[in-house]
A and B are shown apart, each in its own frame.
Chain A
């Protein structure tokens, strides 16, 4: 059963941050609609309700420092209707009427990013530090080894006397139960956590997590080992999960899971009898969702989900059917009934006020513009030494590795409409088309340097000219391991006077590696050992520059061990380093070769002499090829099948009946559409695999000090007539 929800816009505030909108509970016995609290980057906290479809402001505070989080709290056992607001390192508390009752400085050196309130306990999270206050008295702190993305505590419905357990969702794919000292690994960097079915399973530690690469999972953290109940992979490549919430919108007594993603998608999943979630509703807002909450807001008796988005829209997805009323008169042949007229008049009136507001603003801006013009022309005339600022605007950008197609997803979101974006890169990368973006792309071919060498400064120069009212752009970028540098985006919004912000994204040498927590120990591995006069922070910083998913902070302890997996080839990498020594193990020679080149280059820059020892394990070569094999085989088969498809289809039109064909061909015809879709989804995958096999071959012999460039054509020939054994043989001959 699909849910049918209608979209209704409430208000727009300034840019909002994650978890900056919530719905107040009703402590009134009367039947009234619930109120929405929202805080924005201008520091305005406001609370509003809806009365007869009109926004009715309860309170609105003056602008201040940007608000980074809003949480509800209250004495244990009473309705949680006190509003706690974090901005900078301050926490403020307001009553539901907007009266301030608490102003507290957490003394955190970092800005407060996450907040949790439970009774008189206050949990405050910065980037790496989290602090626990009880009645505003410091109770203790914890320094996480990676960035804290979200915090929650359980039990959610805490009673007097219950203990409190904090869970941190950290960027290194780990959920940490702090007092318990649990660590539970999830498959991506968790961005958001929420108690399972809202209350965390009645005191047991159950959570739903959403990751940066768009996966959802359910973790049970009660015994010795975490139990993973279910996980929903992100096959359709939707955006990362930015917020989660539970609310019973169907009214069947079981709360639904509400998911907000940073590509603007909102999903509602309901649990079946076996507690497996199924998708019931989805809607795309085309800008990242910052908070989702359920409640009764728009009108009595209609449950709804309230969504806040990046640009500050607060929108309801309601079970009440508003549009139907307008469409109701289609059948009546244009004779609108009274109610419709009211509805239309109402929107008309709203539009009118808005229009006059905009007109007023336009006039003001016009004045300011002329003033600005006068100022600049005066400055030009007088050649004065006055300076002028570039107008600023807020950019919300992400550059994340998406494991499903082994490419990076760059998403750029601006609070106002984007005019165009120029992408520039000094590494060879490919830009792939994203179906959902409508921007017109044009590439600039770069003239080679005067001496004929390729222009290494600008491997890529492209403009993305956006259609009107686009505030978000998504680009898929495919990188090659071993090639590193930066991708730069020059973002130009439709803002007068025209201005531009430059964002820079590093493309690391081992760009396709992802942090994991355990590896297959049984694989044969080659190794590399570096010994030299370097400190732990130094060697850590080298690895940070080389591998994604690593925090800038130097790990605590003397020795650091990190595990990675190549998401394209599924080869693995172990890095162990301490002061004066670093060791890496991998079953992929290319990975080791890249690391060796990069680390020795870094060390040379710092004038540190390195002693490099390596050991090439020939068995690892066979293992790597065995890993490649199923992928190569599948791709080759797929390419072959797709090639045959058109010819087979032509035969089909000619003959009508296909029964005379061999069953495998009939099968191809039957699967035709699937094959085509699959083929389209993985552009140039085969070429990438070929490239990696070639690198492997070159790197293997590089360690032996042999240059095998002239053998490459032979290798490609072997690949074209692919057979696993012959490939291994080719690798083993010298």
Chain B
């Protein structure tokens, strides 16, 4: 159990994930949290705050900042290299504000059309000054203290977490981006140097030490990576609200701290994941930070709950001892449990002594005792079922007719909504075979952990057979002699490889009934289970053509092939008329939307001027006792107000559309970059960005097609 060294009760709600701490005067740390009614409060127990501007002082040590827009991200940190005061950065769905709390002034207020879902502050290797990096819908944007746009790139989906980690152990930070497409991408400057695929949206990333970092997923998983190797992970049924790292036991190694939706805080060893301490808050944890909140020269771990409860914990060497004492107790329990398990197992083996023949069992025993022939084995096989709706089927069967397979449980990540799938056929249709249809939701290799429950018919006691099967990356494509129509879109590139090696790659990554002829050239046709066709061609000169209308699939195939053949760089020519048409139409809508936005903004200014004059006129009339004119004036104000509200509705709808379009544009750029490997990947993103900035649409299309301007 952890004992806090201080607890505070702040009379405000704290929004989850909106907790940060900053030394806004360079000396005193202030807890800063997002709260209800689109406000941000700064808790400053050490020096009084002055009201004015955005700030309203409520209690003696709480000051409120009003944002007038719902706050979506919050971060404090050093931005201006010339002084040591922290800057508070607040992100909303449209803007990023850098705010100097001490001087009560805005440093900059930037429009970020992609929204700000996450903010991180610090230095990255490609830029020499600290940046504030905002992650939005598929984009990452970095600003320096003057609000200058110094960094821009795209990622696969909505950014759900950000962290700066020294991933390469070279003393410079890399940017880690977790997104809703389950990926953690590592950016060194503009280059993606590593990509890890997880099983759910990545909601939390935090640097622990060196190249080690913790992560959290939307399904309640937390774990630790060192570079791209996962050390450990655990899954809980609760939601992770915050992760942090802090050396709580004073052994010099930081622990991973997790705050959960049920109010639990646990402290785990970063190397094993073992829980060292825990505590419980009365409501869900909102955020965890560390700061020297008592001004005694040592940092405390500060945990905040959504109800405004704040607890501080201190590093304490004696905890090491307490851990030891606890551990010896736990060890004792664990050892005893192991002992009991072993004894039980031994006893069960003892029962097995001596051969037991089928005839020796009474029918009753055969059913109740859970006996099966000792020679029973289980076989699993992946087959593609070519019925009217083709699908992959996993066939689980035993090798004899005495037994039945009662049930099959498959544990597989990212294959089902939950982590497992149960197939439990009705009792009257049991046989020694169960067929489980499988529909892979996306193209990635999946390990299937299969458990088959086997017994004689009618038994209440089962043998559980555990088998692992591997579902290859591109299992959802069914090999055909030929497809009726070769898709129009295609990518083509040249490989400096022998054809048979590509053939091996195909055998490993597709479910094939027969080997594909691949001596001289490959001409493989596939039907996709999720719709659409795929044609893969390679001739003896190394010229490869992949025909598919699915740009993601083309990208995945190229990335998989490149990693199989260990290619560092690969430039391809892409021909995706459908996507380009779409991009074209989006670009024109974007232009239209932007002009509408400007028009609406102008209208709004007009209206507000008008309102001002109308109010003055009406008030004048009131003072003169001219009630009828006053009434008229206010009625006009009301009408204008209605117009304004309508205008606002149009504006927000317009904005929403703009955001969606921008997201689509970013996604297309990301997908195009996914078709290339190595340096061509980053090059494409930078060039596209330039083309968009300078409004050269034709150049954009050219870049996407050929990979460079």
Interface 0/1 of A312-346, CB less than 8 Å to B: 11000000000100110111011000000000100
Known contacts A365-B342, A371-B349, A416-B344; A424/B463 CB under 8 A: no
Question: Measured between alpha carbons, how far is A201 from B104 in the docked complex, in Å?
Answer: 75
A-B contact pairs, 27 of them (CB 8 A): A327-B321, A327-B325, A333-B318, A348-B328, A351-B328, A351-B331, A354-B336, A361-B343, A368-B349, A385-B357, A387-B357, A387-B366, A388-B356, A388-B373, A389-B348, A389-B370, A437-B237, A444-B420, A447-B437, A457-B425, A465-B419, A465-B420, A469-B337, A490-B453, A497-B463, A500-B464, A653-B35
Contact B236 A379 (CB under 8 A): no
Contact A383 B375 (CB under 8 A): yes
B9 close to A (CB within 8 Å):
no
Contact A439 B341 (CB under 8 A): no
Contact B420 A463 (CB under 8 A): yes
Q: Which of B417, B418, B419, B464 is A498 in contact with, Cβ under 8 Å?
A: B464
| Stretch of B106-114, B179-187, B454-462, B639-647 at the chain-chain interface | B454-462
A654 close to B (CB within 8 Å):
yes
Q: Which of B58, B235, B318, B351 is A330 in contact with, Cβ under 8 Å?
A: B318
A720 close to B (CB within 8 Å):
no
Interface 0/1 of B29-71, CB less than 8 Å to A: 0000001110100000000000000000010000000000000
Known contacts A372-B349, A441-B418, A498-B451; A358/B373 CB under 8 A: no
Interfacial chain A residues near B409, Cβ < 8 Å: 420, 422, 463
A9 close to B (CB within 8 Å):
yes
Q: Which of A334, A440, A499, A653 is B321 in contact with, Cβ under 8 Å?
A: A334
Question: Measured between alpha carbons, how far is A350 from B339 in the docked complex, in Å?
Answer: 14
Q: Which residue of A lies closest to B39 (CB)?
A: A653
Extra pairs beyond A444-B420, A457-B425, A499-B462 (11, CB < 8 Å): A327-B325, A351-B328, A354-B336, A358-B342, A365-B346, A365-B349, A385-B373, A387-B358, A415-B344, A424-B422, A442-B420
Question: Measured between alpha carbons, how far is A380 from B398 in the docked complex, in Å?
Answer: 12
The residue in A385, A457, A458 that gathers the most chain B C-beta atoms within 10 A of its C-beta is A385
Q: Which residue of B lies closest to A441 (CB)?
A: B237
Contact B372 A388 (CB under 8 A): yes
Task: State the interface size on chain B (CB cutoff 8 A).
Answer: 83
Q: Which of B36, B331, B335, B373 is A653 in contact with, Cβ under 8 Å?
A: B36
Interfacial chain B residues near A504, Cβ < 8 Å: 460
Contact A389 B351 (CB under 8 A): yes
Which of B's residues lie within 8 Å of A, judged by CB? Answer: 12-13, 35-37, 39, 58, 220, 234-237, 262, 316-318, 321-322, 325, 328-329, 331-346, 348-349, 351-352, 355-358, 360-361, 366, 369-377, 407, 409, 411, 416-427, 437, 451, 453, 455, 460-466
Known contacts A417-B341, A457-B426; A442/B346 CB under 8 A: no
Known contacts A386-B356, A461-B424; A650/B37 CB under 8 A: yes
CB B472 to nearest CB in A, in angstroms, measures: 24
Interface 0/1 of A488-514, CB less than 8 Å to B: 001010111111111110000000000
Question: Measured between alpha carbons, how far is A312 from B341 in the docked complex, in Å?
Answer: 13
Contact B416 A444 (CB under 8 A): yes
Known contacts A354-B332, A422-B422; A393/B344 CB under 8 A: yes
Known contacts A351-B335, A469-B337; A433/B422 CB under 8 A: no
Known contacts A387-B356, A656-B58; A440/B419 CB under 8 A: yes
Question: Measured between alpha carbons, how far is A351 from B335 in the docked complex, in Å?
Answer: 8
Contact B418 A463 (CB under 8 A): yes
A605 close to B (CB within 8 Å):
no
Contact B346 A368 (CB under 8 A): yes
The residue in B234, B322, B407 that gathers the most chain A C-beta atoms within 10 A of its C-beta is B407
Contact B422 A330 (CB under 8 A): no
Known contacts A392-B348, A501-B460; A387/B418 CB under 8 A: no
Question: Measured between alpha carbons, how far is A282 from B591 in the docked complex, in Å?
Answer: 68
Known contacts A442-B417, A463-B420; A368/B345 CB under 8 A: yes
Q: Which of A9, A386, A438, A497 is B373 in contact with, Cβ under 8 Å?
A: A386
Contact B419 A386 (CB under 8 A): no
Interfacial chain B residues near A495, Cβ < 8 Å: 341, 344-345, 348
A236 close to B (CB within 8 Å):
no
Q: Which residue of A lies closest to B462 (CB)?
A: A500
Q: Which of B325, B349, B357, B453 is A323 in contact with, Cβ under 8 Å?
A: B325
Interfacial chain A residues near B426, Cβ < 8 Å: 457
The residue in B36, B339, B348, B357 that gathers the most chain A C-beta atoms within 10 A of its C-beta is B348
Q: How large is the interface on A (under 10, 10 to 19, 20 to 34, 35 or more residues)?
A: 35 or more
Chain A to chain B: the 6 pairs with minimum beta-carbon distance, closest first: A442-B418, A390-B370, A330-B318, A498-B464, A379-B374, A391-B348
Contact B334 A361 (CB under 8 A): no
Contact B236 A440 (CB under 8 A): yes
CB A475 to nearest CB in B, in angstroms, measures: 12
Contact A329 B321 (CB under 8 A): yes
CB B409 to nearest CB in A, in angstroms, measures: 6
Question: Measured between alpha carbons, how far is A39 from B462 in the docked complex, in Å?
Answer: 30
Interfacial chain A residues near B465, Cβ < 8 Å: 498
Contact A440 B220 (CB under 8 A): yes
Contact A649 B341 (CB under 8 A): no
Question: Measured between alpha carbons, how far is A282 from B407 in the docked complex, in Å?
Answer: 42
CB B366 to nearest CB in A, in angstroms, measures: 8
Interface 0/1 of A638-668, CB less than 8 Å to B: 0000000000011001101000000000000
Interfacial chain B residues near A500, Cβ < 8 Å: 453, 461-464
A62 close to B (CB within 8 Å):
no
Interfacial chain B residues near A382, Cβ < 8 Å: 375
Known contacts A365-B346, A433-B237; A499/B418 CB under 8 A: no
A404 close to B (CB within 8 Å):
no
Contact B455 A375 (CB under 8 A): no
The residue in B13, B340, B455 that gathers the most chain A C-beta atoms within 10 A of its C-beta is B340
Contact B325 A380 (CB under 8 A): no
Q: Which of A358, A371, A392 is B461 in contact with, Cβ under 8 Å?
A: A392
Question: Measured between alpha carbons, how far is A469 from B274 in the docked complex, in Å?
Answer: 13
Known contacts A380-B375, A440-B237, A650-B37; A416/B340 CB under 8 A: yes
Known contacts A385-B358, A416-B344, A469-B337; A390/B462 CB under 8 A: yes
Interfacial chain A residues near B417, Cβ < 8 Å: 442-443, 445
Question: Measured between alpha carbons, how far is A469 from B340 in the docked complex, in Å?
Answer: 12
The residue in A368, A469, A501 that gathers the most chain B C-beta atoms within 10 A of its C-beta is A368
Question: Measured between alpha carbons, how far is A323 from B321 in the docked complex, in Å?
Answer: 11
Contact A498 B422 (CB under 8 A): no
Instruction: Report A163-179 residues with CB < 8 Å from chain B CB.
Output: none
Question: Measured between alpha carbons, how far is A384 from B346 in the docked complex, in Å?
Answer: 24
Q: Which residue of A lies closest to B427 (CB)?
A: A457
Question: Measured between alpha carbons, how far is A29 from B11 in the docked complex, in Å?
Answer: 63
Question: Measured between alpha carbons, how far is A313 from B369 in the docked complex, in Å?
Answer: 28
Interfacial chain B residues near A12, Cβ < 8 Å: 336, 339-340
A588 close to B (CB within 8 Å):
no
Contact A424 B424 (CB under 8 A): yes
Instruction: Report A55-95 residues with CB < 8 Å from chain B CB.
Output: none
A120 close to B (CB within 8 Å):
no
Interfacial chain A residues near B360, Cβ < 8 Å: 387
Q: Which of B337, B339, B351, B455 is A357 in contact with, Cβ under 8 Å?
A: B339
Interfacial chain A residues near B334, Cβ < 8 Å: 469
Q: Which residue of A lies closest to B221 (CB)?
A: A440
A635 close to B (CB within 8 Å):
no
Q: Which of A347, A386, A392, A499 is B332 in contact with, Cβ under 8 Å?
A: A347
CB A201 to nearest CB in B, in angstroms, measures: 40
Interfacial chain B residues near A388, Cβ < 8 Å: 352, 356, 371-374, 376, 463
Instruction: Report A112-135 residues with CB < 8 Å from chain B CB.
Output: none
Contact B463 A498 (CB under 8 A): yes
Instruction: Report A420-471 residues with CB < 8 Å from chain B CB.
Output: 420, 422, 424, 433, 435, 437-445, 447, 457-458, 461-463, 465, 467, 469
Known contacts A390-B462, A440-B419, A649-B13; A384/B374 CB under 8 A: yes
Known contacts A388-B356, A498-B451; A358/B340 CB under 8 A: no
Interfacial chain A residues near B39, Cβ < 8 Å: 653
